[in-house]
C-alpha cells in the first residue's frame, strides 16, 4: 500500500482504523496482564503470548462473518478474544476455573468456543490445518457459503499435515483461508534453518492455492488483503493463502532464554509495533486525539480488570467431577 493509498483509506474510514487500533490494544492489554498473573503463579502451565503480532488477528477477524469458522494455534488468546469469546471466559480458563470457556480443562493453549465457531486453541503444530479442511468440507457439502480461517505459524509449513491439507483443500476447492503467521522462528529455530523454501507464499502456490505475502505489522494491509481473500474464497474461488510477515516481541513461551536471536533484531522489529504505528499515524492525520486515546485505553483496561476480577473469584472443578466428560454420561448411567 502506498502512502497516498493509506492516507485515503484512513480518511475514508477513520472509524474502522480506530476500531482496529482498539482491537489490537484489547489483545495487548489482556496478554500483558496474563504475563503478570503468570509470574504471580495465578496462571500455570504453558503460556505463549502474541504480543507484537496483534495486527494479524485483528485484521483477519474484522474480515469474517459471525457464521464463519476460526481455527488457531496455542498462541490464540487474541484470536479467541477478537472472535468474540468474552474476556471473562478466557481469563477464567487461564486460571483453570470452571467458569472458563472450557470449564478450566483447556487452559491457555486450548481455548475453544462453539458459540462463536472458535475451534481452538490447537497445541499440536499444524494440527489445526486438517481440522479447518474438514470444517470447510462440511460447509461445502451442506451448501453453506461460509469460510474457515485457519491460523498457523510458519513452523507448521514443515509438517506433513500442511501438505496434506493444502493439497486436499485445493483439489476439492474448499473455502479455507490459510493464514500463516510468519514470525521467523519456530521456538528457537529460524525459518532458514528448517525450511528449504523460505518463500512461503511460493511454497503454498505450488499446490495451486492463490497466495500472497502481506506486511503483518500493518493492520490496514492485513485487513485489506484478508477482506479481498475472504470475498474470493466465499464466492467459490477455492482456498487462499496469506503469509503475514510479523514478529513476536516476547519469548516463545514463559520458559525461553531467547539465545537464538539478537536483542538488536527484537528492537528493530519493535520499532514497527503495530499499535504504536497506527496510533501515531492516526494522530498525525488528525483522526485521533488525546481524549480518544484516553477513552479507548480506559474502556480496554476496564474490560481486562473485569475479566481478572471474574477469574479471581472463580472456582476449581470439584475432584468428584474430574472423570466427567471422559465418557458419555449416558453410557455410564
Contact with Mg ion (CB under 5 A) among 108, 148, 165, 183: 183
Beta bridge partners, 212, equal: 242
Looking only at Cα atoms, what is the longest distance across the chain?
A: 67
Query: Hey, what's the cell of 329?
Result: 454420561
x/- mask, ligand TPP, residues 69-108, rule CB under 6 A, reads ------x---------------------------------
Exposure string over 6-42, b if 16+ CB within 10 A, otherwise e: beebbeeeeeebbebbbbbbbbbbbbebbeebbeeeb
CA 242 to chain CA centroid, Å, is 13
Size of the site for Mg ion (CB under 5 A): 5
Contact with ligand TPP (CB under 6 A) among 31, 139, 154, 273: 154
Contact with ligand TPP (CB under 6 A) among 38, 119, 185, 241: 185
Query: Hey, what's the cell of 92?
Result: 477464567
Q: From the CB of 156, what's the least distance to ligand TPP, in Å?
A: 5
Size of the site for ligand TPP (CB under 6 A): 14
Q: Is 190 in the site for ligand TPP (CB under 6 A)?
A: no
Query: Hey, what's the cell of 232?
Result: 474470493
Q: What is the CA radius of gyration of the chain?
A: 20
Q: CB neighbours of 297 closer than 8 A, spacing ≥ 6?
A: 25
Q: Is 216 in the site for ligand TPP (CB under 6 A)?
A: no
x/- mask, ligand TPP, residues 33-72, rule CB under 6 A, reads ----------------------------------------
Binding site for Mg ion (CB under 5 A): 153-155, 183, 186
Binding site for ligand TPP (CB under 6 A): 75, 123-125, 153-156, 181, 183, 185-187, 252
Amino acid at each position: 500500500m502506498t502512502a497516498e493509498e493509506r492516507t485515503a483509506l484512513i480518511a475514508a474510514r477513520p472509524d474502522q482504523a480506530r476500531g482496529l487500533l482498539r482491537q489490537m490494544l484489547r489483545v495487548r492489554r489482556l496478554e500483558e496482564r496474563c504475563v503478570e498473573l503468570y509470574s504471580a503463579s495465578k496462571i500455570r502451565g504453558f503460556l505463549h503470548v502474541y504480543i507484537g503480532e496483534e495486527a494479524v488477528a485483528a485484521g483477519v477477524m474484522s474480515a469474517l462473518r459471525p457464521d464463519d469458522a476460526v481455527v488457531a494455534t496455542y498462541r490464540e488468546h487474541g484470536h479467541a478474544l477478537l472472535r468474540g469469546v468474552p474476556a471473562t471466559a478466557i481469563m477464567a480458563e487461564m486460571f483453570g476455573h470452571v467458569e472458563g470457556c472450557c470449564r478450566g480443562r483447556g487452559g491457555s493453549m486450548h481455548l475453544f468456543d462453539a458459540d462463536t465457531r472458535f475451534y481452538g486453541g490447537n497445541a499440536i503444530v499444524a494440527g489445526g490445518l486438517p481440522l479447518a479442511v474438514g470444517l470447510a468440507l462440511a460447509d461445502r457439502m451442506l451448501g453453506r457459503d461460509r469460510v474457515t480461517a485457519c491460523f498457523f505459524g510458519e513452523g507448521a509449513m514443515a509438517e506433513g499435515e500442511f501438505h496434506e491439507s493444502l493439497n486436499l483443500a485445493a483439489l476439492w476447492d474448499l473455502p479455507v483461508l490459510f493464514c500463516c503467521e510468519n514470525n521467523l522462528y519456530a521456538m528457537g529455530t529460524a525459518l532458514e534453518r528448517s525450511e528449504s523454501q523460505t518463500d512461503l507464499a511460493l511454497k503454498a502456490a505450488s499446490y495451486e492455492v492463490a497466495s500472497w505475502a502481506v506486511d503483518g505489522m500493518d493492520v490496514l494491509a492485513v485487513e485489506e488483503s484478508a477482506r479481498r481473500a475472504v470475498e474470493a474464497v466465499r464466492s467459490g474461488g477455492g482456498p487462499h493463502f496469506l503469509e503475514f510477515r510479523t514478529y513476536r516481541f516476547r519469548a516463545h513461551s514463559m520458559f525461553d532464554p531467547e539465545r537464538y536471536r539478537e536483542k538488536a533484531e527484537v528492537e528493530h522489529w519493535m520499532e514497527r509495533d503495530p499499535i504504536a504505528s497506527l496510533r501515531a499515524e492516526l494522530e498525525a492525520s488528525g483522526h485521533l486525539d488525546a481524549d480518544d486515546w484516553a477513552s479507548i485505553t480506559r474502556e480496554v483496561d476496564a474490560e481486562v480488570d473485569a475479566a481478572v476480577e471474574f477469574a479471581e473469584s472463580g472456582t476449581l472443578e470439584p475432584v468428584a467431577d474430574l472423570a466427567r466428560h471422559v465418557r458419555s454420561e449416558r453410557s455410564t448411567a
